[in-house]
Amino acid sequence: MAQLSADADGTVLTIEQAAVRAAEQVTAVAGTQTVPLAAADGRVLAQDVVAPVALPPFANAAVDGYAVRFADLAATGQSRLPLSGRVAAGADAAGVAAAGRAVRVFTGAPMPAGADTVFMQEDVALQGGAVILPAGLKRGANVRLAGEDLPRGGLALTAGRRLQPQDLALLAALGLSEVTVRRRVRVAIFSTGDELSEPGTALPSAGIYDANRSLLRALASRAGAEVVDLGILADEPESLATRLREAAAVCDLILTSGGVSGGEEDHVKAAVERTGELAFWRVAIKPGRPVAMGRVAGTPFIGLPGNPVAVFVTFAFVARTVIALLSGARPARPHGLPVRLGFSYKKRAGRREYVRVSLEPGPDGIATARKHPREGAGALISLAETDGLVELADELTSIAEGTIAPFFAYEMLTG
């Protein structure tokens, strides 16, 4: 079990302190490119987007029904107006005046001249050539005014936003076919460890398959990065230093797993110290305490621990923030959602622990979190069989069943 005491040659940082130190190590990539909307999902906006048109662009009916001038309605009781004119969505309403009458309109149709209120078709009765309109509707009901969502010239999206599907719809609604984004961050990934073999090859005795590269490739690419896969590096200081320098020349961030905990077979830390400098190599987080950050020949470097669950957790709470900063994105630490712990738990003070849990519906709408029985930082099956992580605050030591704690669904950590 990892001990928390600060080491003689390193201080244990909180996640927040690590994020501050990390921010000092990185500068957002400067390059931008203009891409079509179809290729913009997940990209980071390089500039603010100001609305070139208003949304909606013109006043229109929000329902299928009858458009009227509110001033034509009786002060009390129902009203009766002659029916005249018809405007469908996409039709030109010019020349259709509403004064003294009800105009048949459909959802999305431009408002006839003078009309300011729309009655839903379900609420009216047709009588001969007239419409009987009930009392009680407010002026402006069922009308979407021009610019009520966003005026022309209004700020639609701000620079640094990582574009979501709904943002692409907003850009399209504004008539924009392309958008200027930052270039993708290039992340070089490699694993270290003489015990590692490529999946698909025969496994030697005492060998294991490299799981972390598959994990990190997918996590980095979901975080918006372009992945440069550098394979498995041997636990040998000379070649590690050479490969780190080579990687530094072709990427914006080097991401490794394994070999950082400080044992004499853990050569990554030593190789980084030879080729650059370390900013920190301990974070008060479990699993994942040995997480290193620094620079190799000027390029930011993050060394994640070897255990795959520790890789997942440290990527989610440390590396992801760094990729966001490099991407020019505003790093958003997700807000954990409240769940009720279906287990009691003991931990050390002074470190934040993440517990793998599955959710069950709770009686009061707050879900109950069940802990996975496999707690080891190497147990990938525990990640595959759970829904997310519960966060137990640094100062807590003895946590009672029933305590409310923040929950992060895996989807919140891998977007």
Ligand X SMILES: Nc1nc2c(c(=O)[nH]1)N[C@H]1C(S)=C(S)[C@@H](COP(=O)(O)OP(=O)(O)OC[C@H]3O[C@@H](n4cnc5c(N)ncnc54)[C@H](O)[C@@H]3O)O[C@H]1N2
Query: CA 271 to CA 47: how far, in whole Å?
Result: 39
Buried b (16+ CB within 10 A) or exposed e, 254-279: bbbbbbbbeeeebbbbbbbebbbebb
Closer residue to ligand MOO in complex, CB, 2/396: 2
Closer residue to ligand X in complex, CB, 309/329: 309
Q: Which residues in the 254-293 window bind ligand X by CB under 6 A?
A: 257-261, 263, 266, 289-290
| Residue 339 contacts residue 367 (beta carbons within 8 Å) | yes
Residue 64 binds which of ligand MOO, ligand X, none (CB < 5-8 A, kind-dependent): none
Number of residues that bind ligand MOO (CB under 6 A): 9
Pick the piece of the chain touching ligand MOO (CB under 6 A) from 133-141, 145-153, 187-195, 284-292. Answer: 284-292
2 binds ligand MOO (CB under 6 A): yes
170 binds ligand X (CB under 6 A): no
Closer residue to ligand X in complex, CB, 94/208: 208
* Cα dihedral 222, 226, 231, 236 sign: negative
User: Which of 65, 112, 193, 287 touches ligand MOO (CB under 6 A)?
Assistant: 287
Site string for ligand MOO, 290-309 (x = CB under 6 A): ---------------x-x--
Buried b (16+ CB within 10 A) or exposed e, 76-98: eeebebebbbebeeeeebeebbb
- Distance of closest approach, residue 196 Cβ to ligand X, in angstroms: 5
Calculate helix-pair angle for 320-327, 15-25, nearest 10 degrees: 30
Pick the piece of the chain touching ligand X (CB under 6 A) from 109-117, 140-148, 181-189, 207-215. Answer: 207-215
Q: Which residues in the 366-405 window bind ligand X by CB under 6 A?
A: 377-378
Long-range contacts of 34-39 (CB under 8 A, 24+ apart): 34/178, 34/179, 34/180, 34/181, 35/178, 35/179, 35/181, 36/177, 36/178, 37/168, 37/171, 37/172, 37/176, 37/177, 37/178, 37/179
Residue 41 binds which of ligand MOO, ligand X, none (CB < 5-8 A, kind-dependent): none
- Distance of closest approach, residue 167 Cβ to ligand X, in angstroms: 35
25 binds ligand MOO (CB under 6 A): no
In sequence order, what are the beta bridge partners of 372?
Answer: none
Closer residue to ligand MOO in complex, CB, 277/375: 375
Query: CA 26 to CA 322: how far, in whole Å?
Result: 7
Sequence-distant (≥ 6) Cβ neighbours of residue 277 within 8 angstroms: 294, 295
56 binds ligand MOO (CB under 6 A): no
- Distance of closest approach, residue 265 Cβ to ligand MOO, in angstroms: 16
Task: Give me the residues that bind ligand X (CB under 6 A), please.
Answer: 2, 191, 193, 195-196, 208, 210-212, 257-261, 263, 266, 289-290, 305-308, 310, 377-378
